Amino acid sequence: MPKTVLITGAAGFLGSHLCDKFIKEGYRVLGMDNLITGDIRNIEHLFKNKDFEFYNHDITKYIYVPGKLDYILHFASPASPIDYLKIPIQTLKVGSIGTHHCLGLAKEKKARILIASTSEVYGDPLVHPQSEEYYGNVSTIGPRGVYDEAKRFQESLTMAYHRFHGLETRIARIFNTYGPRMRLNDGRVIPAFIGQALRGENLTVFGDGSQTRSFCYVDDQIEGLYRLLLSDYSDPVNIGNPEEITIKDFAEEILHLTEKKQEIIYKPLPQDDPLKRQPDITKAKEILGWEPQVSREEGMKATYNYFKSLPKKDLNKKEHKDFSKHIRR
């Protein structure tokens, strides 16, 4: 009898890749998503698989799942600046109420739960690179605070369940991740740059471009998350690629990759946008035996080819197919 895993945010970028990973590893997978930011097309290839089932459900409402659950991976949340600035209350609710429901379900089912936290808990860091021991520099009332504080609260609630109820919990602090199934219009730097290149627009860099990011390819990220779930470590672990690059240099890499002739233009830096972002992955190496394997050159080629393959007419428009027969409401 295969083990059963519930993945919230299953139709999202990381959630859909996690569904693929667990199906490949022989699990029975229950995907759950309210489809506010997720795209059902990311998982439609799984509907014919007998070991996959989809629930169209908002986890800020009570979660009911029949039968045994071995694992829960909580990945439901808006995860881009455009999303969590457009739907700030929902972002806070899914990180708080939604997490509470997931932890309650894990307690009821005696399941191990992995929570998707984020490098955003470090805010605009005063320590570089960022290790798990750094407490962060977050503006609670800034426009990004709805996401940052939801994730920080999520971590606190998770550890409270771990300590008070003895729940088996895992916390992944996820750094910038990229790859196929990202939304082209989600506001993050990689889809923004590639989208501008595909549309023949100049690439927009905010600030002077000296701010840095560290990009992890999705296959590496999923492997790290999988190993963390199956580990015996309950404190937060950074999962990301420590190879740091400035946004200006990255924009130039995109122009070289796409062989486009556009220019780089500069606009004011958004409020509370972090100036540095680089994970210290010492714990991931020592505890999980994990570190990234995919080079940025290799990963960016695969990502660019994915975006190029999207329909030319309105690349972001979702298809209106009837998936109701596959959906458990």
Q: Point out the residues that are catalytic.
A: 147
Q: What is the 3-state secondary structure (H, E, C) of the chain?
A: CCCEEEEECCCCHHHHHHHHHHHHCCCEEEEEECCCCCCHHHCHHHCCCCCEEEEECCCCCCCCCCCCCCEEEECCCCCCHHHHHHCHHHHHHHHHHHHHHHHHHHHHHCCEEEEEEEHHHHECCCCCCECCCCCCECCCCCCCHHHHHHHHHHHHHHHHHHHHHCCCEEEEEECCEECCCCCCCCCCHHHHHHHHHHCCCCEEEECCCCCEEECEEHHHHHHHHHHHHCCCCCCCEEECCCCEEEHHHHHHHHHHHHCCCCCEEEECCCCCCCCCCCECCHHHHHHHCCCCCCCHHHHHHHHHHHHHHCCCCCCCCCCCCCCHHHEEC
* Residue labelled with tokens 């471009």: 209
**171 CB-contact burial (10 Å; exposed 0-12 / middle 13-18 / buried 19+):** buried
Sign of CA dihedral 55, 57, 59, 61: negative
Closest to 190 (Cα-Cα) out of 208, 172, 217, 210 = 217
d(CA 98, CA 13): 19
